[in-house]
Structure 1
Amino acid sequence: MGPPTPVAPAEAGVAVTQNAQPRPAQWPGTPVVSTVANPANAALDNLSFNHDKGATSLGQTFRVPTACQLTRISLFGGDGLGTAPAQPVTLALYDLGPTEAAAASPSTYAPSPNLLGAGKGLKINYTPQAAGLLNFDFTGPNQVPLLAGHTYAFELQGVEKSAPLFWRVSRQEAYADGSAYLNRAPAMLNDKRGYDFALAVYGRAGGN
């Protein structure tokens, strides 16, 4: 396996690095939040926009314990057909407001203004890779403040029934302060709910 592969973003504001770590046993560094401790062992299934009847968004909610400035979001995923004009992928981040820990997995959520891309989100380029880490490093105004005690929803948005990439997901609840969502409803696998996408959020001190 070669070194991590930088991929030019379709839009300014985020740098995408692929092949950062194949089948990761842990997240590098010290995330502010992570939904699973051992992504390779905990997230054994994968989902894309072609799951079941189709979806236009794959989302994971998470609760921020301490205020910080967003610098990176990493996910465990890969495979798929890659992005193209007919099957784009856009990153979105929504602030769902302050919550108690037990309320960080609502039955649905309404998107507030998108915190990324001046409200329009950030389109990315992706070429198929084996299952591993995808790093999204944010720049400029996209290094948004994350507020302590707030729940956020991070989404991959795409075209229904497309499969540009797959996001790895747990087979049982792995993270108490959030959940996996399809079309902003709890992800259903094997007719059950209670799953989490493999996600890590990084930040530096300085959030409001």
Structure 2
Amino acid sequence: MVETLQSTLLAPIPHAFSLKHGLPVEPLVERGEAVRVKQVHSAIVVDADAALGETLEADALVSDRSGPILQIVTADCAPVLLADVDAGVVAAAHAGWRGAVGGILGHTVAAMIERGARADRIVAAIGPTICQASYEVDDRFRDAFPTDADPFFVSGNPGHFQFDLPGFCALRLSQAGVLNIDDLAQDTYSQPTRFYSFRRATHAGKPTGGRQISAIALPHG
């Protein structure tokens, strides 16, 4: 059986974070159809219905109906799955550092609210991503962030810092009104047998094409 990861906060909703071996062949929900977008490190959110059969540039998907299985792919960036069970609204977001700074998570929450969700009812799970101990960055990188990101940088080697991407994503979610956030705390870089890592592959001079898949869907009523 293919191993996947789940969040206790999202337990009532069909969802999965894959490891490097991918998702199971069977879909999350019966009669479900996988929906993806061309991820471009943006703050663009699209409705899953609009993305069915299309190649749209965006970094998050939202849906308020059963059928679409919202999928994003990552290999160090943060996959974030969100749900308001009472409203019947789900979303999946790809939050690299550019998208997180640019507002992808706040825009995703806003798109859910437009479809009847309430921020204080939304639960969010941050899946496998590069964690602070593995994410060395320089002054130029840090300068791209607003001052509220300062707590997520700690000093490292001379002229360098260690950046906490999942922590910064959690901040952006909380600023959007999301109160319940589950960080699975799985570091893609330091677990080569479990996860693909773009940065690890780059450092090793190996191909960088491997990706994890994260998926969420509303069950059929």
What TM-score, normalized to structure 2?
0.30
Please state which structure has a larger fraction of its residues in helix: 2
Please state which structure has a larger fraction of its residues in strand: 1
- Structure number with bigger Rg: 2
What TM-score, normalized to structure 1?
0.32
